A and B are shown apart, each in its own frame.
Chain A
Amino acid sequence: MAVVLIVEDDEDVRALVVHRLKQAGHEVLTEADGEAGLGAARAAIPDLVILDWMMPRRNGLEVCFELRSDPQFVNTRILMLTAKAQEQDIERALAAGADDYVVKPFSSRELLARAAALLSR
């Protein structure tokens, strides 16, 4: 069982991802904006952070960059879950330190498989 933090402002998407991760046996924390997400990450040091890109207060890319700049998150994996699907968006996210990238609309089965793969590293 891993601790997974989901930072996603859309309540419907958040509910779905939480549901699937709990079904997979993970402990799940949630936040609805980037600033709160950073706070929750610092408090819990999760194994995996699933980050939306476009969020209020601080966007997912900023959060990703901030997490990667902090040595206490060296073992935390980051998965971006976003509607931004352009090649340059994916490049930017990976350059900011994301370990993987899933584009919306997404398959929850694929999301779980990618999360499992990241957590097994």
Chain B
Amino acid sequence: MIQTIPGLSSALLLAAAVVCGLLALAVVIRRMVRTEFSRREELRRSRVRPLVLDILDGDTSFDLSRRDLAALVLLASETAGYVRGDDRSALTSWLTTQQFARTCLKKMKSPFALTRARALSRFAPMAHLAPRSIEQMLNDRDEGVRSLAAQSVGLSGSAALTPPLLRSIEGPRAIPARIVSMAVLRASPTSIAVFGDTLVDPNHRVRALAIDLAGQLNLVDGRKAIEDGLDSASSEVRAASLRSIQRLGSPLSVAALERMPLNNTPEFWSAQALVRELLVG
């Protein structure tokens, strides 16, 4: 018995050492495999990179292996996020022919937030092709996915999605106003029409944000809608109107400012100062 215990201990020690060794080996092999995988992926990307430029030039007559085509699809979708105008149109048109949109939209319905987020970020430059799906994701059950959806709207610059994006700052699944603002500024709409009816939204936070952003984007065609905010019952909306009127800097706004009822509110005095500023120029 006395002799058996040291024997058993040695065996256990040896077994533990073997297990540790095997684990360490597994970690090393896993790392080597991943490194090799990344190296091959990078090689494949380098190989197909010139083809992205061909797509941009309208030449899509290439014959690729399944893996090279997958790498090209991924690279084209990433590049579509860096560019806009004709370049993005060329890439998204080609991606559509590769069933890329359909695959992303399918994955965007996954029960796993990470899969939805990954598909959404790849689909973002093409968000204008499926506005309803992106709108649904602005109300996703996962907070991170909702924020990513807001950023996707900003990246795509989709006009149809701007009003639902602005409204997403309210409700039980609200997106932080800071993220929504950044997305709208990134989309950089050039006309107030993109804001839709959010400029008269019954929710004063939504209306104030829309008015504020219209000023930040210097949307001069929204001057009337911005000035109308001065009549709002909400001080938040009135303050946003004043800020935007100041940003636009148009003397035409003086009449609206002078219509403000005489009272002792901070907005009234700001309006008076702004009138002087606009008149002096």
User: Interface segment, A11-19, A40-48, A91-99?
Assistant: A11-19
Contact between A13 and B185 (Cβ–Cβ < 8 Å)? no
Chain B residues in 8 Å Cβ range of A109: 85-87
A12-B53 Cα distance, complex, nearest whole Å? 10
Chain B residues in 8 Å Cβ range of A19: 53, 56
Chain A residues in 8 Å Cβ range of B86: 107-109
A63-B49 Cα distance, complex, nearest whole Å? 28
Interface residues in A1-19 by Cβ distance below 8 A to B read 10-13, 15-16, 19
Interface residues on A, range: 10 to 19
Q: Shortest distance in angstroms between A5's beta carbon and chain B's nearest beta carbon?
A: 20
Contact with A along B63-96 (1 / 0, CB 8 A): 0000000000001001101111111100000000
Chain A at the B interface: SS class: helix
Interface residues in A57-75 by Cβ distance below 8 A to B read none
Nearest-neighbor residue (CB-CB) of B87 within chain A? A108
Q: Shortest distance in angstroms between B57's beta carbon and chain A's nearest beta carbon?
A: 8
Contact between A107 and B87 (Cβ–Cβ < 8 Å)? yes
| Given the contacts A12-B78, A12-B79, A16-B79, A105 and B53 also touching, CB distance less than 8 Å | no
| Given the contacts A85-B186, A107-B87, A15 and B82 also touching, CB distance less than 8 Å | no
Contact between A15 and B49 (Cβ–Cβ < 8 Å)? yes
A107-B85 Cα distance, complex, nearest whole Å? 6
Contact of A105 among B49, B82, B185 (CB under 8 A): B82
Contact of A110 among B53, B85, B88 (CB under 8 A): B85
A118-B56 Cα distance, complex, nearest whole Å? 25
The count of chain B contact residues (Cβ–Cβ below 8 Å) is 20
| Given the contacts A85-B185, A85-B186, A105-B155, A16 and B85 also touching, CB distance less than 8 Å | no
A10-B271 Cα distance, complex, nearest whole Å? 47
Contact with B along A16-27 (1 / 0, CB 8 A): 100100000000
Chain B residues in 8 Å Cβ range of A85: 185-186
Contact with B along A108-121 (1 / 0, CB 8 A): 11100000000000
A16-B75 Cα distance, complex, nearest whole Å? 12
Q: Shortest distance in angstroms between B35's beta carbon and chain A's nearest beta carbon?
A: 19
**B79, B82, B125, B185 interface centre (most CB from chain A within 10 Å):** B82
**B245 an interface residue at 8 Å Cβ cutoff?**
no
Contact between B53 and A106 (Cβ–Cβ < 8 Å)? no
A12-B45 Cα distance, complex, nearest whole Å? 10
A10-B83 Cα distance, complex, nearest whole Å? 13
**B86, B87, B186 interface centre (most CB from chain A within 10 Å):** B87
A109-B85 Cα distance, complex, nearest whole Å? 8
Q: Shortest distance in angstroms between A100's beta carbon and chain B's nearest beta carbon?
A: 17
A11-B53 Cα distance, complex, nearest whole Å? 13
A110-B85 Cα distance, complex, nearest whole Å? 9
Q: Shortest distance in angstroms between B39's beta carbon and chain A's nearest beta carbon?
A: 15
A105-B84 Cα distance, complex, nearest whole Å? 6
A105-B155 Cα distance, complex, nearest whole Å? 8
Contact with A along B40-64 (1 / 0, CB 8 A): 0000000001101100100000000
Contact with A along B137-160 (1 / 0, CB 8 A): 000000000000000000100000
Q: Shortest distance in angstroms between B135's beta carbon and chain A's nearest beta carbon?
A: 21
Q: Shortest distance in angstroms between A90's beta carbon and chain B's nearest beta carbon?
A: 12
Contact of B75 among A12, A105, A106 (CB under 8 A): A12
A-to-B contact residues, CB < 8 Å: 10-13, 15-16, 19, 85, 104-110
Known pairs A12-B75, A12-B82 / 4 extra A-B pairs, C-beta < 8 Å: A105-B83, A105-B125, A108-B87, A109-B86
- Ranked nearest first, the 6 interchain pairs of A and B with the lowest CB-CB distance are A107-B85, A105-B84, A19-B53, A107-B84, A108-B87, A105-B82
B-to-A contact residues, CB < 8 Å: 49-50, 52-53, 56, 75, 78-79, 81-88, 125, 155, 185-186
